[in-house]
């Protein structure tokens, strides 16, 4: 398994995302992912499935210390007191004494970033989170965060149709992991002719090509969701082929500033690739 090595941590570059997985489907999905070899699990308070993720990890034969577990503090719980109380709630639901990575899910301009990240850093110093980071931050916001606390990860939307060169470069320069969410552009990669042609040449699916393109990039991890065992297995089966330089250039050339996740509370994106 390829890893992203930052801040003294070795993180599996391919993780299992749990957004929109609920109840028994989530529990069974995480258990199956761990059985298949996934060792990086991504959840969040707002997903409403931390309890199921925790149950699956506890039921698994995989040791807790062998799993990289990420959860996120919702942006509306950004004060110091809220950060601490909601994180303690997450840990109870996850049935663990710590998370490997605690992210601030979206920026909140109504609470000073220094207060939010300061509280998260205190949790890190207490051992409740081994590392802290942010999600959905622009380059300007990420630079501000780096001046406040030892953030080790940034999670943002990233797929062939949305370049993220500036943010990835910032992560690489700051010993940070960049985690790609919605790496398959909500399934839009499936029908792209360029990706399909590359996939055919390698005897792989377009999904496998995209995931390989992502995890081959320095400092980049990806956390695709997969609702079925077949998709979880296929997503994990990406390390037996290599993309050529021409393949990579062709995929890079698909970027068109297409943002899929853009809620009303999102920050003002600074450019098409931010």
pLDDT tens for 211-249 read 999 999 999 999 999 999 999 999 999 999 999 999 999
The pLDDT value recorded for residue 173 is: 98
Tokens of 93: 């639901």
State yes or no: pLDDT of 26 exceeds 90: yes
40 neighbors 7 (Cβ within 8 angstroms): no
Own/partner contacts of 239-246, CB < 8 Å, gap of 24 or more, are 239/1, 239/2, 239/212, 241/202, 241/203, 241/204, 241/212, 242/212, 243/198, 243/202, 243/209, 243/212, 243/213, 243/216
Average confidence score pLDDT of the chain: 97
The catalytic position among 38, 47, 75, 158 is 47
Mean pLDDT value of segment 130-141: 98
pLDDT tier at 270 (50, 70, 90 boundaries)?
A: confident
Among 113, 112, 132, residue whose Cα is nearest residue 121: 132
Q: Is 118 exposed, middle or buried (0-12, 13-18, 19+ CB in 10 A)?
A: middle
Tens of pLDDT, residue by residue over 187-200, are 999 999 999 999 99
- Tell me which H or E stretch contains 16: strand 16-17
Domains, the chain, in order of start with CATH, read 3-252 (3.20.20.100)
178 neighbors 154 (Cβ within 8 angstroms): yes
Q: What is the pTM of this model?
A: 0.97
The pLDDT value recorded for residue 271 is: 66
Own/partner contacts of 224-227, CB < 8 Å, gap of 24 or more, are 224/16, 224/17, 224/183, 224/184, 225/16, 225/17, 225/18, 225/19, 225/20, 225/21, 226/16, 226/29, 226/33, 227/21, 227/25, 227/29
Mean pLDDT value of segment 60-83: 98
State yes or no: pLDDT of 254 exceeds 70: yes
State yes or no: pLDDT of 30 exceeds 80: yes
Mean pLDDT value of segment 34-46: 98
The pLDDT value recorded for residue 274 is: 41
47 is a catalytic site residue: yes
113 neighbors 148 (Cβ within 8 angstroms): yes
């Amino acid at each position: 398994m390829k890893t992203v090595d930052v801040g003294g941590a070795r993180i599996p570059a391919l993780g299992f995302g749990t957004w929109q997985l609920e109840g028994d489907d989530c529990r069974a999905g995480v258990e199956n992912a761990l059985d298949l070899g996934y060792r990086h699990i991504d959840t969040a308070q707002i997903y409403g499935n931390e309890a199921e993720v925790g149950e699956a990890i506890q039921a698994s034969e995989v040791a807790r210390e062998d799993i990289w577990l990420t959860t996120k503090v919702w942006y509306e719980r950004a004060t110091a007191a809220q950060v601490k109380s909601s994180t303690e709630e997450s840990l109870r639901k996850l049935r663990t004494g710590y998370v490997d990575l605690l992210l601030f899910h979206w920026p909140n301009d109504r609470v000073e970033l220094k207060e939010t990240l300061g509280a998260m850093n205190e949790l890190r110093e207490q051992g409740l989170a081994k590392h802290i980071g942010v999600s959905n931050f622009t380059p300007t916001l990420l630079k501000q965060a780096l001046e406040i606390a030892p953030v080790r990860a940034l999670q943002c939307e990233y797929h062939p149709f949305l370049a993220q060169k500036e943010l990835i470069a910032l992560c690489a320069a700051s010993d940070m992991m960049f985690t790609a969410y919605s790496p398959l552009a909500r399934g839009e990669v499936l029908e792209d002719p360029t990706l399909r042609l590359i996939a055919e040449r390698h005897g792989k699916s377009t999904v496998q090509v995209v995931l390989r393109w992502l995890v081959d990039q320095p400092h980049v991890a990806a956390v695709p969701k997969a609702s079925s065992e077949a998709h979880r297995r296929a997503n994990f089966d990406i390390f037996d082929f290599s993309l050529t330089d021409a393949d990579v250039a062709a995929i890079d050339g698909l970027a068109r500033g297409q943002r899929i996740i853009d809620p009303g509370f999102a920050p003002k994106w600074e450019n098409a690739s931010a």
